[in-house]
A = this chain, B = another copy of it.
Amino acid sequence: MTRTLSETLRVGPERVTIRDDDSGATPGFEGGKKAAASALAKLAKPVSDLQERLYAESRVDGRRSILLLLQGMDTSGKGGVVRHCGGLLDPQGVRVTAFKAPTEEERRHDFLWRVEPHSPEAGMIAIFDRSHYEDVLIARVRRLADESEIDRRYGAINDFERRLTDAGTTVVKCFLHISYAKQGERLRKRLDNPAKHWKFNPGDVDERRLWPDYHDSYKIALERCTTSYAPWFVVPSDHKWYRNWAITTLLHEHLAALDPQWPKTSLDIDEQKARLAQS
């Protein structure tokens, strides 16, 4: 029996390892760049059809929605996924939120305060470029909160995601996994190309120096927050073509599992046809 990609990439309850040499793998995909581009293009129609059904369903009686959450080190390709996977969707049904460093006002609230308003409404697909996980990642590495507060947050995240899923949101959490070497290569490319200089932030090098701390923090976050209702998926992301195909496939599998249906109308269609004919 073939496993779905969701089954293949899902983080199990066992101890999580994030190994640099896994980041170039392409689990569940036979073939290379060209085949992946063509497989991705083939997903465009089914994904956007399912999206339209999800939206339609919500207009009548649905409450279901999707939250696609992207986390990963700098240059892991969160923006690329928004462009290549999110770009297949009808913009009417997508909301992208990029979480930056919290503002002063946001810091004066619980860390989930700024996240809640961006959770998807029924029928919609929300994409988070970074998320509340930053509050147990950079916050842990940079000691922006003390240990007991960080510790509290894992449980708070699980409760929050439980509430979202109970309320009808399918939460798909992807860790875009790249190697240390690949990040170095991509940062260098930014510096080599004047059209990419604006993307380069000197702080990226400072964060890069803390790579082992970040990996520890990711490992803990994945272990403590991979749940039956909102599991983590580790997506090897050294190959952009694999990453784009894989996350689009995860989205497709989750949409297909929802199996949204065109809503049945309660209208008398013949009566409406008659009214229209008279107008």
Q: Which residues of A line the B interface, CB within 8 A?
A: 56, 59-60, 79, 82-83, 86-87, 89-92, 94, 96, 98, 127, 129, 184, 187-188, 191, 194-195, 197-200, 202, 205, 208-209, 262-265, 267, 269, 272-273, 275-276, 279
Contacts of A92 in B (CB 8 A): 79, 82-83, 86, 96, 98, 129
Contacts of A199 in B (CB 8 A): 56
Which chain B residue lies CB-closest to A82?
B92
Assuming the contacts A92-B129, A129-B92, A262-B198, asked whether A276 and B191 have C-beta atoms less than 8 A apart, the reply is yes
Contacts of A269 in B (CB 8 A): 191, 197
A205/B91 in contact, CB under 8 A: no
In the bound assembly, the distance between CA atoms of A56 and B184 in angstroms comes to: 22
A202/B129 in contact, CB under 8 A: no
Task: Please tell me which one of the listed residues B265, B272, B276 contacts residue A184 in the complex, with CB atoms under 8 A apart.
Answer: B276
B262/A195 in contact, CB under 8 A: yes
Assuming the contacts A82-B92, A91-B86, A92-B82, asked whether A187 and B276 have C-beta atoms less than 8 A apart, the reply is yes
- 17 new A-B contacts, CB < 8 A, other than A191-B269, A205-B279, A208-B279, are A56-B195, A56-B198, A59-B198, A60-B198, A79-B92, A82-B92, A86-B91, A86-B92, A89-B91, A91-B94, A184-B279, A195-B262, A198-B262, A198-B263, A200-B267, A205-B276, A209-B279
B98/A197 in contact, CB under 8 A: no
A39 to B: closest C-beta gap in Å: 20
Which chain B residue lies CB-closest to A204?
B276
B82/A87 in contact, CB under 8 A: no
In the bound assembly, the distance between CA atoms of A21 and B79 in angstroms comes to: 45
In the bound assembly, the distance between CA atoms of A56 and B198 in angstroms comes to: 7
Which chain B residue lies CB-closest to A87?
B91
A87/B86 in contact, CB under 8 A: no
Which chain B residue lies CB-closest to A207?
B279
A131 to B: closest C-beta gap in Å: 15
Assuming the contacts A91-B91, A202-B267, A262-B197, asked whether A273 and B191 have C-beta atoms less than 8 A apart, the reply is yes
In the bound assembly, the distance between CA atoms of A264 and B198 in angstroms comes to: 7
A265/B188 in contact, CB under 8 A: no
